[in-house]
Amino acid sequence: MRGDPHKLIEGCLIAGRAMNANAAYIYIRGELYNESSNLQEAINEAYAEGLIGKNACGTGYDFDVYVHRGAGAYICGEETSLIESLEGKQGKPRLKPPFPADVGLFGCPTTVTNVETVAVAPAICRRGGSWFASFGRARNQGTKLYCISGHVNQPCTVEEEMSIPLRELIEKHCGGVRGGWDNLLGIIPGGSSVPVLPKSICNDVLMDFDALRDVTSGLGTAAVIVMDKSTDIVRAISRFSSFYRHESCGQCTPCREGTRWLEIMMSRFEDGRGRPEEIDQIWELTKEIEGHTICALGDAAAWPVQGLIRHFRPELEARMNAFKAQAAIQA
């Protein structure tokens, strides 16, 4: 959207014609001012050239493209919340069914998809589906935008093929982990909503849906967060818990109340004030949240905590024991 917005507009036109839709709404975070400005300018240029609008490309097909700037609510990444926001309502998920394909924006059948998916459509049309499917492995074909941040030498966003080894991805495009691969503590492979993976798994895991599912994580948004051994992993996950508590719309009780308790308990764990038996309690809490909400925000809040307990439980216990020992000395 910042560097080549016409690619997205072309993708919208292709997708719209394929579905016989007459309008596309591009929903973008309000904070992304430059991107939305560039995108709107590109849309104006496309209208001026007759590529979109009435009689788009001279085909007799009418197709309009609109940009809608949101207010930055994380929950509006969920498709029905996004639709509610577009309609001028509070961004809260709808109960499904009906699904957007039946009753969507303004009551019309609607397809909600990511701009990354739409923007790749022109290249697939030019080069063919077999070309796109030649990347990656079976059931995980194609390319993906990987946004790599954290403790790497050169953070970047790069388009790479699916199923690339995680270690190769980081060393090829980011110059490796800060301090070398042996300084790695763990990696979150798909954004804050997926479980963290320790170095032992990161050594060989592939970056695709099936491989990451098999190690109890996920590709998610492919936002790779790299953490070296200087990271306070408990504090990092505690911050995620605070974030999801803040972003919960409050509509579902398991999410509204559960994220609050996750934040409280993780804050205590961060300081070492928890008790070892509370680790199992917070695990059970995540299970009561997971799968019991209208949208996946509850799952997103639960999974990082599950990943922490699954792979870094000794760190939690050591912190609690250290706090207990210090309290005994002071007493």
Q: What one-character-per-residue DSSP string does 263-326 give?
A: HHHHHHHHHT-S-HHHHHHHHHHHHHHTT-SSSTHHHHHHHHHHHHHHHHHHHHHHHHHHHHHH
CATH number of the domain that residue 206 is part of: 3.10.20.600
For the beta sheet containing 223-228, the strands, ordered from the edge strand earlier in sequence to the opposite edge, are: 156-161, 143-150, 223-228, 184-188, 197-198
Judge if 245 and 184 occupy the same domain. no
Judge if 179 and 203 occupy the same domain. yes
- What band does 2 get if pLDDT is binned at 50, 70 and 90? confident
Model confidence pTM above 0.85? yes
Judge if 160 and 107 occupy the same domain. no
Domain boundary among 207, 228, 249: 228
As given in the structure block, the two tokens for residue 260 are: 């609050």
Give the range of the structural domain holding residue 295, as residue numbers without chain letter. Answer: 233-330
Total domains, the chain: 3
Query: Does 90 fall in a domain?
Result: yes
Tens-place pLDDT, residues 281-330: 999 999 999 999 999 999 999 999 999 999 999 999 999 999 999 888 88
Query: Does 138 fall in a domain?
Result: no
Judge if 238 and 221 occupy the same domain. no
Domain boundary among 228, 260, 290: 228
Label the pairing between strands 140-141 and 156-161: unpaired
CA distances from 126 to 14, 129, 136, 280 (A): 12, 9, 19, 53
Query: Does 161 fall in a domain?
Result: yes
Give the residue among 179, 180, 156, 158 at the shortest CA–CA distance from 167.
Answer: 180
Report the pLDDT averaged over residues 86-111.
97
Tens-place pLDDT, residues 23-63: 999 999 999 999 999 999 999 999 999 999 999 999 999 99
Judge if 215 and 245 occupy the same domain. no
Judge if 237 and 318 occupy the same domain. yes
CA–CA separation, 99 and 251 (whole Å)? 18
